[in-house]
Amino acid sequence: MKAVARPTKYMLCILLSLVLSRAVVVAFTLSSSSSFTRPLTNNLLAISGPSRDTFLRSAPEAGDETVDPELAKVMYTLGIELGMSLGDISVLANNAEERTHVVRGIVDVCTGRLDMAGCEAMLKAHGEQMKQVIRERATQAQKELQLLGEKMLDEMASQPDAIKLASGVVVQIIETESDTSVGSGLSPSATSSVEADYHGTFADGTVFDSSLGKEGDSPKFALAGVIEGWRDGFQELIEGQVAMLGIPSQLAYGPQGTPDGAIPPNATLFFKVKLVKVLTAGVSKSGLVGADGKALTSAGGSSALLGADGKPL
């Protein structure tokens, strides 16, 4: 499982480095590139000048005859694309008033209302305070997510149809494929390769990775190369089954999180998965093993090997 590149509100380490980098201020002023998807000079009054009401009144109204309705939609869509590249800032700016000031700062830089000298002056005057606020809010948000995840994992384990493995992973079967040609009863071993779909969320419902809605076949991967929680959980499934996997942080990305910040430290992960197919039998210390983890046997004294379903590989 690879964390998706789309920004989430927990990608605070990356956002912090971007916000504090003067190089990004230069790039942002000169470029309008997006990952998804200037007449005033050194006017420091642009930061504190117009009131919030004045700023909001300056936005085009739906009935403003000077704005072409179709063009207004195009410009709004441009704003959406730029906003998607920034991601969710609700953790950093957690009320409407704060978000208004964030938007004003972005607009002033992107439209040239505030030049480089003005940007540098504001960073020099308020940069340390900004860093402190970001650190405090990032730490608080991560702690709240950690506690919520631990609580949800305990609640999931208490469900009558859920099982908690010795490792701490919780497995809850949702659906078993009725088509016997698909639901063959095969389960993967720890060294199998599988084809599976997945949809991963944090405890608060934020989606950080998903294979759903993508073109082409379901992802294929070796269980030996994924997080330990996935490896344990998938071995409890048979082909065609859909299940929820609750994975404690120590069996996912632990206290470090992911390098890109997409998954924060100590985050419990929740996946809805479907085991589409067991692709390879895998290899154990005792040699070749079947999809059920048991040693394979030769067929009729020949060198052919049988899988866990009794059929030649």
Which residues carry out catalysis?
A: 198, 208-209, 227, 253, 271
Note whether 40 and 112 are within 8 A (CB).
yes
Q: Give the integer Cα–Cα distance in Å for 74 and 113.
A: 22
Tokens of 8: 């989430």
Amino acid identity of residue 190, one-letter, is A
Q: Give the integer Cα–Cα distance in Å for 199 and 207.
A: 8
